[in-house]
Amino acid sequence: MSFPSDEHASELRDLFFESAEEILQGMNEAGLALEEHPGDAEQLRHVRRAVHTLKGDSAACGYRHLSELAHEFEDVLTPELAQQHAGSIAEVILTAADTFHEMLAAYRSDLQPPSGEALRERITSLLKKPHEGAAERTSEIRAQFKWTEYERLTIAEAIRKGDAVYNVALHLDRQAPLPAAAFELARRALESAGKVVALRPEGGVYAERTELIEAALSTAQAPEWIQTHCQVPLIVDAVFIERLGAPNASPRDLLDILLESEAAAISSGIKGTSAETSSHAEEEPRESAASVGMAHAAENSLRVDAARIDTVMNLVGEMIIGKSMLQRAVAEFERQHTRDPLRARFSDALAFQSRVLGELQKSVMKIRMVPVEQLFRRFPRIIRDVARLRNKDIGLEVAGQSTDLDKGILDALAEPLAHLVRNAADHGIESTAERQSAGKPVRGTIRLNAYHDGDEVVIEISDDGGGLDREKIVRRAIERGIITPEESLRLNETESLQLIFAAGLSTADEVTEISGRGVGLDVVKTAIEDLKGSVELQSRPGHGTTFRLSVPLTLASIQALLFRVNERLYAVPIASVGEITRIVEEEVHCVDDHEVFQLRDQVLTLVRLGRLERFASRTPQAAKAQSKRAFVIVIGTAGRRFGLAVDSLMGEEELVIKALEDELITSPLVSGASILGDGTVVLILNVPAVISHLSRIPAVGATA
């Protein structure tokens, strides 16, 4: 026997963890659906299929504890138990999803997995049956002995030969630890008692969840001996036996029956007529159809490691730099050889290459794009758990699920969004009594929305709760020493609300196990800014709060405006540029030791890169007198705007973000760097970080 190499085993485990996360997400969704509709058989079948897959995959990867627990959990996923425990089966499914998730996290980190005893106790409590005795147990599930025509013919043939034939029903113990093994032991007891002429079920997957075995047994033994022999301890609860007599009508010839059966099978397009298939044909029709659909879907999809796509994307980035080099070379050739007939051919070839390269880049970008629905699917469970813990009635509305976003950015947004959703459910939505006294519907609503805005994706998390208390936020900020009372007087509404993102600040009156410690929103803002995005906050007391997250579509490349400051080349994303204007030095004024200028009816802060932290040491000429008329790029994001003074504008260009090691590039005010076709390094400004830097300075960034 050959075993997979370490590399292949590692790939197998990675694939298992990825598919297992999808399985657990499906279990969460099915559990929530069963809470709303306890009798939904399709959702129960979905969970049963998912757990069966998880059991097999975990066993293949050597995760025995997870496989065994999944096998035990399968025992409760039967329609009978779901009907008997309709009120608790959904809770057990959600508990199982949490337990499996913890075990997967432990396996992923090469740690000892949790025992899962809490889940085992829930499983045992559902499988326990009251001690009414075997007689009542027998009455719960009655034997039908509905044999097929072929089986009836076989029974009749045995009786005609003088054999004694009995209908035997074995009621299996529900508490048997291994249902499949219990079925096998009971079947062997029947086979050792005589010749089994007919059997229900015959085996397979149905044997693992059956509680009743029906058999037609041809034997010379007495009924009492059969009863004792088939009463397997801890396996068989009760045995029912009845002897069959000769049929009233003479049976048809066996060959005739076989020919008729074969003809019927051929005419209906069915090959074979197994007794198991016929007995369960009505039970699992949709499951079979679903399996076929899943198989077709699997054939049309391909799992690819994200690192491979990143490699292709990096190569496309190098080709874009090569295109820039070629464009500069062609432009230089045209200047030096204005009458050369090759000019037109070079230009046509360059245009063709640029068009194909653009399509290639778009195609690779689309591969990395995934719908935000993959992220939104996690939040119904979070809201449900918080609502139960806090005794609230909360609904969720989702829009824009099909909005595409880069897979890397989507993964990085998971924790920040989960924290905002959890906060909205815990602190945003009021209690039932508070909503009733305010004349609001008892059921609070949290809304998730996603949409494209230029080269950015905007994700909104809003609630119809009580909103944020501006005075309370400012008061807590003063108490924590984040601002002084004098500084608080200069803050406008937006700046006051932005204090909620300060580390250690919380407006919650009580600390819960969910939130209230002042840890979280500052981490959310930091995570969004690391993605070169921004957070905007809007709130109306008594009406609710909206967090608006803006993140770039991708971190691989951007359209940027290039400019020079003190002979150094910089860039700013085009999406952040509002307009470009020119001012003279006489229009620049000083307010609280900071430069501002008036643009129509607004007063904006004027930023000079040479005076910002980390830039001053690299731009010694920044203190020189500015030209009489300077360019100013008006930049805005998250509802705030400022003017950036530059020496000259160099035009617009597509930049590929590169990882370069430089002290200036590692500044939080720089989001990355790029290389032009002539080898020039361009620093890309991190606009949200610049605004955050300015927001720490009083009276800066104000708008009139």
Domain 6-127 has CATH 2.30.110.10: no
What CATH superfamily classification does 557-695 receive? Answer: CheA-289, Domain 4 (2.40.50.180)
**Percentage of residues in the chain having pLDDT higher than 90:** 8
Write down the pLDDT at residue 509.
60
Mean pLDDT of 377-402: 90
Residues contacting 236, CB < 8 A, separation 6+? 170, 171, 172, 173, 186, 189, 230
**Pairwise pLDDT comparison (690 vs 140), residue with the higher score:** 690
Q: What is the DSSP string of 28-76?
A: HHHHHHHHH-TT-HHHHHHHHHHHHHHHHHHHHTT-HHHHHHHHHHHTT
Q: What is the pLDDT of residues 469-481, one digit of tens each?
A: 888 888 888 888 8
Classify residue 268 as left (phi > 0), alpha (psi -120 to 50) or beta: alpha
Q: Is 463 helix (H, G, I), strand (E, B) or coil?
A: strand
Q: CA 453, CA 550: separation in Å to the nearest integer? A: 9
**Are the C-beta atoms of 428 and 508 separated by less than 8 Å?**
no
pLDDT-derived band at 484 (thresholds 50, 70, 90) equals: confident
Taking each helix axis as running N to C, give the angle between helix 179-193 and helix 223-230, from 0 to 180 degrees, rounded to the nearest 10: 150
pLDDT in tens, 348-359: 888 888 888 888
Provide the β-strand partners of residue 169: 214, 240
Q: Identify the pLDDT of residue 443.
A: 92
| Summary mean pLDDT of the chain | 78
- Judged against a pLDDT cut of 90, whether residue 590 lies above it is answered with no
- Tokens for 303? 């799992």
Helix (H) or strand (E) holding 685: strand 681-685
pLDDT band at 566 (very low <50, low <70, confident <90, very high): confident
Contact 349, 333 (CB under 8 A): no
Q: Cis peptide leading into 541, omega within 30 of 0? A: no
Closest CA to 703 of 596, 602, 581, 576: 602
Amino acid identity at 499: L
Q: How confident is the model at residue 265 (pLDDT cuts 50, 70, 90)?
A: very low
Q: In this predicted structure, what is the pLDDT of residue 622? A: 42
| pLDDT greater at residue 550 or residue 665 | 550
Token digits for 502? 């300060």
At residue 547, the pLDDT reads 93
d(CA 174, CA 471): 62
pLDDT in tens, 135-169: 444 445 677 788 877 788 888 888 888 889 999 99
The reported pLDDT for the residue numbered 285 is 43
Distance CA 547, CA 340 (A): 59
Coil vs helix vs strand at 503: coil
DSSP 290-359: HHHHHHHHHHT-----HHHHHHHHHHHHHHHHHHHHHHHHHHHHHHH-TT-THHHHHHHHHHHHHHHHHH
pLDDT band at 398 (very low <50, low <70, confident <90, very high): very high
The model's confidence at residue 447, banded by pLDDT at 50, 70 and 90, is very high
317 pLDDT above the threshold of 50: yes
Q: Which pLDDT band, with edges at 50, 70 and 90, does 463 fall under?
A: very high
Q: Which residue has the tokens 């058999």?
A: 215
Tell me how far apart the alpha carbons of residues 633 and 650 are, in angstroms, rounded to a whole number: 12
Q: What pLDDT is attached to residue 462?
A: 93
| Inter-residue long-range contacts of 656-665, CB under 8 Å, 24+ positions, other chains counted | 656/317, 656/318, 656/320, 656/321, 656/556, 656/557, 657/555, 657/556, 657/557, 657/558, 657/684, 658/317, 663/614, 664/614, 664/615, 664/618
Instruction: Name the band, by pLDDT with cuts 50, 70 and 90, for residue 695.
Output: low
* Of the listed ranges 28-37, 103-112, 656-665, the one predicted with least confidence: 656-665
Mean pLDDT score, 430-440: 90
| pLDDT in the model for residue 523 | 84
How far is Cα 304 from Cα 308, in angstroms, rounded to an integer? Answer: 7
pLDDT beyond 90 at 460: yes
Backbone angles phi, psi at 562, to 5 degrees: -95, 140
Angle at 46 between CA 415 and CA 33, to 5 degrees: 60
Cα distance between the two ends of the chain:
78
Residues 372-552, CATH architecture: 2-Layer Sandwich (3.30)
Cα 42 from chain centre: 22
pLDDT for position 246: 67
Give the whole-angstrom CA distance, residue 702 versus residue 704.
7
CB 552 within 8 A of CB 607: no
Q: Which residues contact 19 (CB under 8 A, 6 or more apart)?
A: 53, 57
Please state, in angstroms and rounded to a whole number, the distance separating the CA atoms of residues 93 and 105: 18
Alpha carbon distance 324, 656 (integer Å): 11
Burial 196-205 (b: 16+ CB within 10 A, else e): bbbbbbeeee
What's CA 105's distance to the chain center, in Å? 15
Q: Is the pLDDT of residue 178 over 90?
A: no
Helix (H, G, I), strand (E, B) or coil at 103: helix
Average pLDDT over residues 540-548: 90
CB atoms within 10 A of CB 697: 12
Say how many residues make up the chain. 704
CATH of domain 134-279: 3.30.70.1110
Strands 456-463 and 544-552: antiparallel
Four-residue CA torsion sign, 667, 669, 674, 680: negative
Instruction: Supply φ then ψ for residue 360, to 5 degrees.
Output: -65, -45
**According to the model, what pLDDT value does residue 57 have?**
85
pLDDT value at position 276? Answer: 37
Average pLDDT over residues 407-415: 87
Between residues 205 and 74, the one the model is more confident about: 74
For 609-635, b where at least 16 C-beta lie within 10 A, e where not — what string?
Answer: bbebebbeebbeebeeeeeeebbbbbb
Residue 612: predicted pLDDT: 65
* pLDDT greater than 70 at residue 661: no
Single out the residue of 684, 678, 637, 635 nearest to residue 657, CA to CA: 684
What is the tens place of the pLDDT at every residue in 601-646? 888 888 887 766 555 544 444 444 445 678 899 987 766 788 888 8
Q: Which residue has the higher pLDDT, 106 or 504?
A: 106
